[in-house]
Structure 1
Amino acid sequence: MSNLDDIVATAEKLASGDLRARTGIEDDGSVTGRLAAAIDSLADGFLAHRRHIEQLTRQHRRSLRAHHILSASNRALLRSADEASELQEVTRLIVEVGNYPFTWIGYAEHDEKQTIRPMAHHGMPGNHLYETELTWADRDGGMGVAGTAIRSGNPVLIRDAPNDPRMAPWHAHAKTYGLTSVLGLPLYFGNQVSGVLVVWAAEPDAFDKEEIKLLMETVDDLTFSIETMRARVHQREVEEAFRHVSHQKALILESAAEGIYVVDALGVINFVNPAANTMLGYAPNELLGRNAHDAVHYALPNGDPYPRESCPISAATAVGATVQRVQDTFWRKDGTAVQVEVSSTPIFEDEILHGAVIMVTDISERARYMAQLERKSNFDDLTGLPNRNLLNDRLAQAIDRARQGKSMLAILVINLNHFRNIIDSLGHSTGDLVLQAVGKTLHALEGETDTLARTGGDEFVWVIEVEQEEQAAVAARGALEALAQAMLIGEREVFLTASIGIGIFPRDGEDIDTLLKNATTAMHRAKKTEDHRFSFYATEMNARSLERLDLENALRRALENDELMLYYQPQLSLHTGEIYGAEALLRWQHPQRGMVSPAEFIPIAEASGIIVPLGDWVLRTACRQNKAWQNAGLRNICVAVNMSARQLDAQDIAGLAASVLQESGLDPAYLELELTESMIMSDPDAFIEATRKLKDMGIFLSVDDFGTGYSSLNYLKRFSIDRLKIDQSFVRDITYDPNAAAITMAIIALAKSLKMLTIAEGVETTAQLNFLKNRGCDEMQGYYFSRPIPAREFESLLAKEHKLVFPETHHKPQNTILLVDDEPSILSALKRLLRREGYTILTAESGMEGLNLLAGNEVGVVISDARMTPTNGPDFLAKVREMYPDTIRIILSGYTDLQAITEAVNRSEIYKFLTKPWDDEHLLQTIHTAFRHHENQRQKSKN
């Protein structure tokens, strides 16, 4: 029964609140043993729970006292009269409200010893603060919470201060007064730590995270209050200093002829003399109390807002810098601008910045005079055009741009023929009117980047940035035609002719003097010709120009003489292989020259403007032809017509399309208009409106040669485009140039994301076709299926329902291997070995052939020889890695250029390196492992 008595006694103790009572009976498996164990276990739980409650209670008390400190200190800070009383009051509240035994505040001095100067303390006697060398230096004495908090800028807590070596100077003091844990909190003034608050506690577990957070808020409130108080004191001192300015100094400022105003350190005006008020249009005292920048300097010379933080005068005033005679624009009260010269001198007293004295001089008359001189030195008085001085400057800039961009410039020297006769017969005043009229006529022909100058007498110089030399000839003919028109001078009609010499940079000279000299020489040569027209400095260009002119004239007659025709190139679906459309391409059968290449006559048509009527003819002819095919019972297709930028500029393209469709009777759904990137980006907002009208009619729209120009994706998504056309320059290199392949895949991905179709032009090989089809391209056109053909041949294709036959490809990359070696015997040996293992084997004798096979076949592993020509193995496999990253690459080499092989391995271009002759078993095992690795990569890609 004694065990039961012990159990009962223990239960009674537990019931009375003694949670440390235990039965002391072991659990021997008996009923009493198990009962005793259960009671002991229950007591353990009760005790743990009570300790947890006690811990939470202590945390709550600490948090509560920190809250009380924060609240009380905020009230006290509102009532404090000065900084010292604020510091003392906060230390008092921490001790009396927070129940901490001791706290003190110190400021960090920047003396040699990096001293901490005690500013306030409360609680236990503070004599130790003044007997101990307090420092925040990184050495003995400065390693405690105060020094570390100042150096680090973060709170520092030590829980066993009487024994912690970092608090050695305080050990005796802590033990004497029963202090255990200590917290150091940094005091931030602005962005700099300037002091510390130290709080001591008797409990070792004082200062949990919540308590530290609340004490930091108290510190932040304290420093904010002190900073505000300091600012108020400083403001009062500044105002007092200005009030003490002597009467004599005030008289000097009042009587000065220059405008003078005085600002404080914040830029607020507190003195303005009469001259400044008069200059700026303000009454006396009207500017006082206003920020100077906001009142008179708030806008740039062009009227745009001028932020105060961007103004160098305001910035100099704020930091006490001197400003010497800066020319600027101030603004009068009525909103008019005044040109001024400004100087600013800072005001310091006891090395403290109090503001600045600003002196302002009205230089409007001087500025107008200087502007007139500037204009006279750069512009011709009579015509208003740039003169020789400005011409030289702009020509130098144009040469620099052309040299950097590796482009060309055309310099046209234009001289009026027989101008002396006009002066002799009609007088100098009429001659001046003629020159003004010539200037206006030529100025109307200028492009945005051109420069037209009058260099003296009857001579003008026109500088043009050109891409081709023929553009200079077009500009010269345009100038001659414009000058040949009758000019009405007063009541008289005056007829002029001119001679033009053309110099081309860099061919005819690489500096200003040489170019102008040679262009002038060409001009004199032109004067000696019968028609006094124009001449290039390079004589061979004159022949080319004449030939171009003859071709232009013949092209104008070609429309009338029925020499033009349309060829059609089929466009096919890469999903079904069927012909869905055709691109209409202009051809010219010249009666003497035969078939003229479009590359030869289209640029001439563009430059001369003939492209507009040509384009109209193409559109009408293509629509009529398509409607004729439909009427003949052939399948409905869409005919694509290229549009010129000149057509869009010259006419309402939507109105033209509507008229042509009505005339031909063709459904708009069977017309596609092809536009270039440069065309749609020249005026994207206008183009958005034009495409909207065309789409409302039901016309199909595509972007030709996509990727060769510049498109803003932000605009592209807003255009009503149906198809992107991949330029043939990418398609040509697509199977062996990683960059061309990447661009093509990016265009396809972009089109899909924008819900557009893609068509590749210039497809000529099976490898190109396979690559495009496997990458998701929708359509193709090119010589692989058909060259451009006359309408009758195209009609035959439609009638016979010719389709694109897709080549067979392998679709089991898990067992397809590509062997690339320029030695047929090596390929045969490898094929014999691998065929027994059930692999599908493809072979190539060059890197180019290998890349073509990869374009049309899904290959798991590539084995390449290292020393092939012209492309060696590492270079070939580097391209494979870029274009087919999942394909595993193995190199087989009979020589040991370890450096090249190692570099390739390090760049992850090669998976394994094997030597010739190889070990059959090792080779088969390597290939087996490579296929397993390939399958793992494919699975990762899917996931």
Structure 2
Amino acid sequence: MLPSSPAEPPRLAAPVNPGACSAEAASFERRLLAILDTLPDALFELDLDGRYLDYHSPRADLLAVPPETLLGKTVHEVMPAIPADACMAALQEANTLGFSTGRLIELRLPAGHRWFELSISRKSNGAGRSVSFIVLARNVTQRVASEHKLQRLTDLYAALSQCNQAILRCTSAAELFPIICADAVNYGGMKMAWIGTLNAATGLIVPVASSGEGTAYLQDILITPHANQPSGQGPVGTAFREARPVWFQDFLHDPRAQAWRARASEFGWASVAGLPLTCHGAMYGVLSVYSGTVNAFDDSAQALLLEIAQDISFALARFADERERNRVQMALQDSEERYRRVFHTSPDSVNINRLSDGLYIDVNEGFERLSGWTADEVIGKTSQEINIWRCPADRHRLKRALNRDGHCYNMEVEFCRKDGTVATALMSAALVRFDNVDCILSMTRDMSDIRLAQERINQLAHFDQLTGLPNRSQLQERFEFVRQLAQRNGESLALMFLDLDHFKNVNDTLGHTIGDRLLVQVSQRLAGVLSAGDTLSRMGGDEFILLLPSATEESASQMALKVLSVMAEPFIIDDHELVSTLSIGIALYPHDGDDFETLSKNADIAMYRIKRSSHNNFCFFTPEMQSHSARRLQLSNALYFGLTRGEFLLHYQPQISLQDGHMVGVEALIRWQHPEFGAVAPSEFIPIAEDSGQILAIGEWVLRTAVTQMKAWLDAGMKPMVMSVNLSTVQFRHPDLLALVMQTLQMAGLPAQYLELELTEAMAMDNPTAAIALMNQLHEQGVRLSIDDFGTGYSSLSYLKKFKVSKLKIDQSFVRDIGDDKDDRAIVTAVINLASSLGMQTIAEGVETPGQLAFLRLQGCDEAQGYYFSKPLPVDQLEAFAKTMTAVP
């Protein structure tokens, strides 16, 4: 099908319009031939028997048969059997279906092996005439080579993984080497692999393990490490002698491989690599791998094979260390009997460790009592292996003292017992030498009881005895530390003064015992809302102070709302159900003061303003900050009435297919039009709704409204598409989400295939096991799922492949700058390729320019949405958009 080209290759005859004049026909023919000359591919016309009728090819290097021998002959007469059969199969398919695409054939041309992809169309030649076929042969050699290279790398990655697993399991080279050879063949795509070591008696490198086809090649093979002998010039001898990797990319034609050329030709070895294996830097042996492909070891393959060899060398060093450890242990144990009785009579913990690595040589019964570890569990292991040092700095202090003075007396340290508890102890240690091995002899006395007493004294001095919270002196110390950090980093901090409303009534009516128990429960509730670094202190009576490092007015407002919310539930004390609220004043550093006294005074003033006005509320010391928190509180209250008063509505943003430019879906986006505040942005009211728990009712309304609208559009004859609805974190965690979704679809009468639920990457990874279970259930019901804002969070690929997700949504932060930010382009390309490899689609949001659209389409992105196509639209405008739109260019 691919003949060679003469000086002027024949061309397919251009069809002539019988009704046109000869000049017009000639002009038409010239134009058609000019078009054909621009094609980079070979073009043929064949009949159903595979006989060449005509051809056109501007590329002489793609032809293998002289043209004078081509016309009138069949493909089996001009090509080898295998590609000829493939061509005939494609002709039969084109005869049946009208076309055939995608079949590959391989031909040996003067320039080397080439791969071609065939595209065939059936040509009707008019009544009474036999059909013929137009065949286009495209040179895809580079693409096929890339695919083969990728497969080789994939195989080598699999071999590396299997080898590392074997290294973890095995305890000796004799156990490891056969597995390594088998993995190189079974997973790495090698034809044969073997490992050779130097035989001290013969001076030859002999196989000790092998695997694969053609291991008979190794029978009686002679390989020496000496350079002055031909048998030492190959990859194995050179790698052993020079301690470096050696690559023979064309083994059969490499003059250095002459000694083995006959054997290699018999088994078809085309490329061979010799990889040195070392043990603690000394040569141990060579791993040799054989491929049937010339130039099989490119840079990437070499890097992976070197990593395998390095991992094997690491394992050999580990095996040697283990043998040496056992030898030293046995030698030391033989010399210990003379002091064993004295050693074990000490009531304190006594242990002997090797100086070089902390290996336990022996321990007494006092050690077992102190640590909880038995002698059998620790002897032969290091202190790091059993993780006995709670603070690595203690271990380093001990080593420095021993290196400096040879001894260390009464050093206070902390040990981790076997059960996880911490023991405080005094340690004395000295350097000793047993059987020519430097060791550390340690004596340790348990000081936990003394430490507990000290901690109790510290508790009395710095903590409130009723609630266990820090007292005023401890709070002042923490404040000064936090203030210095805030001053150094240019940050603010918040001091909140909290006072129970009407607490005096509890003491007066129920007594101080009930009042104290109420204070304890209040402190427990308040402590439950603290974040890491926050400090809650009791000043006395019913007054508390909350110190919030790195806090802004916004985060302080959020904390105040949490405190008020957690106090809303009644307190149950015996038979009494008590409702207790708080008044909260807030002062910010440095705006409201730069020392503890000033800030606490100003926070107290703000708290009393609430006491005098409303109770169960909070305010800032400055009116400006108070107005900001007041809006948040107003919006939170207004949200309760937004649904019932019909203040919410949905807008819909079109989602466009980048394959044909048509609308394939819409995303439902909520809007809030408040009669007093006007249009409130979702970014402002959604977080408030989530914090207050109102997001469940709002989310249910959004889902019901969107599903009902999609059903109405379908009933009105609109082209079928997908309705995309965002889920909040609170909705996704709700146990009744599946039932709500299915009930909503059933009530609207909408098939599940038209609904797509969007969840963020962070939501899916918060509890991946539960997320997978829920997504599986939704997927089984036919509901589509997509990951929104993909790339802005953290996804473990091991979980991502398990998610029943049909689409990844590329965040607009990456799309915005793809025109001039190479990092964003790389991220977007990686996401598209990742989705494609996992069988998922991709949709890009925030597309606003033709350049962005062109890049996304070039990379294979499936869908897009953004202002380039349309902003989010109300129902009537979306319907008009759908009726008037054509394919987007």
Larger-gyration structure (1/2): 1
- Alignment partner of 1:718: what SS? coil
1:412-444 deviation line (CA, Å, top 9, x unaligned): 321123434433444432221121121123234
Partner of 2:518: 434
Partner of 2:430: 345
Which residue identity lines up with residue 67 of structure 1 in the other structure? A
Q: Distance between the aligned counterparts of 1:290 and 1:731, measured in 2?
A: 57
Q: CA deviation at 1:562?
A: 1.8
2:620 pairs with one of 525, 533, 536 = 536
Partner of 2:409: 324
Which TM-score applies when normalising by structure 1?
0.52
Partner of 1:697: 781
Q: CA deviation at 1:693?
A: 1.9
Partner of 1:477: 561
Partner of 2:201: 67
Matches for 1:520-919 after TM superposition, within 5 Å? 520-531=604-615, 533-798=617-882, 800=883, 802-806=885-889
Change in CA separation of 1:762 and 1:468 when aligned onto 2, cut-off 3 Å:
farther
Which residue identity lines up with residue 665 of structure 2 in the other structure? G
Q: Distance between the aligned counterparts of 1:281 and 1:332, measured in 2?
A: 5
Task: Decide whether the 8 Å contact of 2:368 with 2:375 is kept in 1.
Answer: no
Matches for 1:485-496 after TM superposition, within 5 Å? 485-496=569-580
1:394-422 deviation line (CA, Å, top 9, x unaligned): 66777788789987654432112343443
Q: Distance between the aligned counterparts of 1:785 and 1:428, measured in 2?
A: 69
- Alignment partner of 1:545: what SS? helix
Q: CA deviation at 1:572?
A: 0.7
Change in CA separation of 1:632 and 1:677 when aligned onto 2, cut-off 3 Å:
same
Q: Distance between the aligned counterparts of 1:796 and 1:443, measured in 2?
A: 55
Q: CA deviation at 1:67?
A: 3.4
Q: Distance between the aligned counterparts of 1:426 and 1:575, measured in 2?
A: 75
Change in CA separation of 1:374 and 1:774 when aligned onto 2, cut-off 3 Å:
same
Q: Distance between the aligned counterparts of 1:467 and 1:67, measured in 2?
A: 76
Q: CA deviation at 1:287?
A: 9.8
Partner of 1:363: 447
- Alignment partner of 2:613: what SS? coil
Partner of 1:452: 536
Q: Distance between the aligned counterparts of 2:528 and 2:692, measured in 1?
A: 17
**How many residue pairs are counted as aligned between the two chains?**
575
Q: Distance between the aligned counterparts of 1:712 and 1:685, measured in 2?
A: 12
Which residue identity lines up with residue 259 of structure 1 in the other structure? D
Change in CA separation of 1:366 and 1:575 when aligned onto 2, cut-off 3 Å:
same
Matches for 1:282-431 after TM superposition, within 5 Å? 321-327=406-412, 339-347=424-432, 358-377=442-461, 379-388=463-472, 391=475, 410-431=494-515
- Stretches of structure 1 that go unaligned for 5 or more consecutive residues are 1-63, 71-153, 155-189, 193-223, 807-943
Which residue identity lines up with residue 367 of structure 1 in the other structure? R
1:422-469 deviation line (CA, Å, top 9, x unaligned): 334444322211211211232343346644333433222334578873
Q: CA deviation at 1:312?
A: 8.7
Task: Decide whether the 8 Å contact of 1:471 with 1:607 is kept in 2.
Answer: no
- Alignment partner of 1:67: what SS? coil
Q: Distance between the aligned counterparts of 2:677 and 2:203, measured in 1?
A: 102
1:629-674 deviation line (CA, Å, top 9, x unaligned): 1122221110001111122234432232222222222111111111
Q: Distance between the aligned counterparts of 1:726 and 1:600, measured in 2?
A: 23
Q: CA deviation at 1:354?
A: 7.7
1:550-583 deviation line (CA, Å, top 9, x unaligned): 2222221111112211111111101111111000
Partner of 1:137: none
Change in CA separation of 1:323 and 1:619 when aligned onto 2, cut-off 3 Å:
same
Which residue identity lines up with residue 201 of structure 2 in the other structure? H
Q: CA deviation at 1:294?
A: 7.2
Q: Distance between the aligned counterparts of 2:555 and 2:486, measured in 1?
A: 15
Partner of 1:259: 348
Change in CA separation of 1:696 and 1:464 when aligned onto 2, cut-off 3 Å:
farther
CA RMSD of aligned residues (A): 5.0
Task: Decide whether the 8 Å contact of 2:494 with 2:551 is kept in 1.
Answer: no
Change in CA separation of 1:319 and 1:773 when aligned onto 2, cut-off 3 Å:
same
Q: Distance between the aligned counterparts of 1:711 and 1:426, measured in 2?
A: 55
Matched-pair identity in %: 40
Which residue identity lines up with residue 343 of structure 1 in the other structure? S
Q: CA deviation at 1:735?
A: 2.2
Which residue identity lines up with residue 879 of structure 2 in the other structure? E
Q: CA deviation at 1:707?
A: 2.8
Which residue identity lines up with residue 346 of structure 1 in the other structure? L
Q: CA deviation at 1:619?
A: 0.6
Q: Distance between the aligned counterparts of 1:328 and 1:664, measured in 2?
A: 69
Change in CA separation of 1:795 and 1:465 when aligned onto 2, cut-off 3 Å:
farther
Task: Decide whether the 8 Å contact of 1:571 with 1:781 is kept in 2.
Answer: yes
- Stretches of structure 2 that go unaligned for 5 or more consecutive residues are 1-197, 205-242, 244-279, 283-320
Change in CA separation of 1:312 and 1:796 when aligned onto 2, cut-off 3 Å:
same
Q: Distance between the aligned counterparts of 1:623 and 1:658, measured in 2?
A: 11
Q: CA deviation at 1:738?
A: 3.4
Task: Decide whether the 8 Å contact of 1:238 with 1:354 is kept in 2.
Answer: no
Change in CA separation of 1:713 and 1:461 when aligned onto 2, cut-off 3 Å:
farther
- Alignment partner of 2:860: what SS? coil
Q: Distance between the aligned counterparts of 2:440 and 2:756, measured in 1?
A: 71
Q: Distance between the aligned counterparts of 2:330 and 2:756, measured in 1?
A: 79
Q: Distance between the aligned counterparts of 2:867 and 2:418, measured in 1?
A: 75
Which TM-score applies when normalising by structure 2?
0.55
Task: Decide whether the 8 Å contact of 2:651 with 2:670 is kept in 1.
Answer: yes
Task: Decide whether the 8 Å contact of 1:692 with 1:720 is kept in 2.
Answer: yes
Which residue identity lines up with residue 802 of structure 1 in the other structure? M
Q: CA deviation at 1:325?
A: 2.0
Q: Distance between the aligned counterparts of 1:232 and 1:416, measured in 2?
A: 67
Q: Distance between the aligned counterparts of 1:519 and 1:394, measured in 2?
A: 17
1:36-85 deviation line (CA, Å, top 9, x unaligned): xxxxxxxxxxxxxxxxxxxxxxxxxxxx9983999xxxxxxxxxxxxxxx
Task: Decide whether the 8 Å contact of 2:738 with 2:778 is kept in 1.
Answer: yes
Q: CA deviation at 1:506?
A: 6.1
Task: Decide whether the 8 Å contact of 1:764 with 1:784 is kept in 2.
Answer: yes
Q: Distance between the aligned counterparts of 2:804 and 2:199, measured in 1?
A: 69
Task: Decide whether the 8 Å contact of 1:296 with 1:330 is kept in 2.
Answer: no
Q: Distance between the aligned counterparts of 1:710 and 1:332, measured in 2?
A: 35
Task: Decide whether the 8 Å contact of 1:297 with 1:329 is kept in 2.
Answer: no
Which residue identity lines up with residue 658 of structure 1 in the other structure? M
Change in CA separation of 1:672 and 1:503 when aligned onto 2, cut-off 3 Å:
farther
Which residue identity lines up with residue 727 of structure 1 in the other structure? D
Q: Distance between the aligned counterparts of 1:270 and 1:641, measured in 2?
A: 66
